[in-house]
Structure 1
Amino acid sequence: MSLLQCIGWRRGAMALAVISLLMLAVIKVLLGDAEVALMIGEPWEDMRQRSSASIDPAIAGHYWGQMPKSDARLRFADPQYGFVTPLARFFSVSFDDERVSNVRMSPQIEPLLLDDTLKVVLDLQEQWRKAGWTPIRVNEDPPFADTPEWRAQLRDVNKGGTSYWHAGNRYQVMLVVGRFKDKKRPTEERYLITLALATPWTNP
């Protein structure tokens, strides 16, 4: 192969790579972030068909769980009580005999700073309020708020915080925030959010 042919081949390969990257960017804009769109109790295959994220089939006759094959957001698709989370890296959906049973996830793709953590949890709580969810056990575990008291509590590695919400007598969510030791950023205060969603498992 001559020098000119080699240069031409390299230019062609680079152009093809650039075009491929542009196509991927366009596809992402058109499709948006991957999401798992579900309702508690529905057939597992209905959830898989509705979701843009890839998730494996359920196993007939078993209680188990699956995780999306990529970062994905949760879209709780109930027409009355629906809400949407940020992208999640840890995201587990359980099934019971081929029906969606519950969700356990961390609605973030990395441990967050406190300001960003509060932004996520307050946005979720506001979505729940607007959709008709109500906080429960507020004397022991009040909803999160951006106050000096809440910030001090969350900074305490031995405390953290928890909030519980009910959607009528149909669903319950638990939101937990705690300090997280991030080995990548050992000098920074980072936080982990955990969200659990299922039919009610505690009384109001």
Structure 2
Amino acid sequence: MTEPGTSKWRWRIAGLILGIAAVWGVYVKARPADEVVLTIGEPYKQVRQQSRSTLPVLTGDNRINLHIQRPAVLRFSDPQYGFSTPAAKFLSLYADDSGKVVAVTLSPQLDTLPLDEAMAVFIGLQDQFRRGGWKPFRVNRNPPIEDTRDTRAQIRRCVAPTSYWQAGNTYQISLNIRCFRSDDRPNDERYLITLDLGLPVFGELPNDQE
């Protein structure tokens, strides 16, 4: 094959590769996020079957760190207290010795967020809890978070305010927001939300107080 012919084939191959990459990029962006569907107490095997996710197979070595490999929404499917979160890059389940899911920890975001965006996610989750019948507790020391100037000042000081929510005597949630500064961007204001969901650990609290 002559040199001009070889060059032409190289350009065609390069163009084909670029075209495939472009199509794949569009597909990834358009593809809906994965979804983890569960209630606390369900068998982990059942959770994997009813979810569209990268949750791993349960083994004796990974039951306390069953984490996703690709971003996913959490849909808590309890018929009374259900809610859903934005897509999470970090989401990990915990199973007991019998293989039942007893806790979930996630950060409902794909990256650390500016404060405006983080507060919108945080307040949106609290609103879902209220609508679903969750009740705040430990409110004397940790009332539900409100988007106020004082609250934002606390968050910027890295106080990490936390709200606590209870669904009857069945489930409890802690939800916090904290500052996150990386060594390569020390002056950037970025924030991380963490949601912990599981069985009650504080016991029944009279009048939602502690």
Structure 1-normalised TM-score?
A: 0.87
Which residue of 2 is the match for residue 190 of structure 1?
A: 190
Identify if the C-alpha distance between structure 1 residues 32 and 186 changes in structure 2 by more than 3 Å, giving closer, same or farther. same
Contact 1:59 1:98 in 2 (8 A): no
What is the DSSP-based 3-state SS (H/G/I as helix, E as strand, rest coil) of the residue aligned with 2:8?
A: helix
Contact 1:62 1:98 in 2 (8 A): no
* Distance apart, 1:111 and its partner CA: 1.9
Cα distance change on mapping 1:7 and 1:35 into 2, 3 Å: same
Q: Which residue of 2 aligns with 1:129?
A: 130
User: Does 2:149 match 1:148?
Assistant: yes
Quickly say closer, same or farther: Cα 1:28–1:58, change in 2 above 3 A: same
Alpha carbons 2:68, 2:91 under 8 Å: kept: yes
Identity %: 40
The superposition leaves residues 44-87 of structure 1 with CA deviations (integer Å, 9 ceiling, x where unpaired) of 11111122111112226985221111122212122222212122
Q: Distance in 1 between matches of 2:124 and 2:191?
A: 16
Shift of 1:25: 3.0
Instruction: Give 2:53's aligned residue.
Output: 53
How many residues are paired up?
202
Superposed displacement of residue 166, structure 1 = 0.9
Give the alignment's TM-score, normalised by structure 2: 0.85
Question: Cα RMSD between the aligned structures?
Answer: 2.2
Q: Which runs of 5+ in 1 are unaligned?
A: none
Q: 2:82 matched to which residue of 1?
A: 82
- AA of the residue aligned to 1:56: P
> Conserved in 1, the CA contact under 8 Å of 2:181 and 2:187?
no
- Amino acid of the structure 2 residue aligned with 1:14: G
Could you tell me which runs of 5 or more consecutive residues in structure 2 were left unpaired when the two chains were aligned: 206-210
Residue 64 of structure 1: SS of its match in structure 2?
coil
- Structure 2 residue 87 is the aligned partner of structure 1 residue 93: no
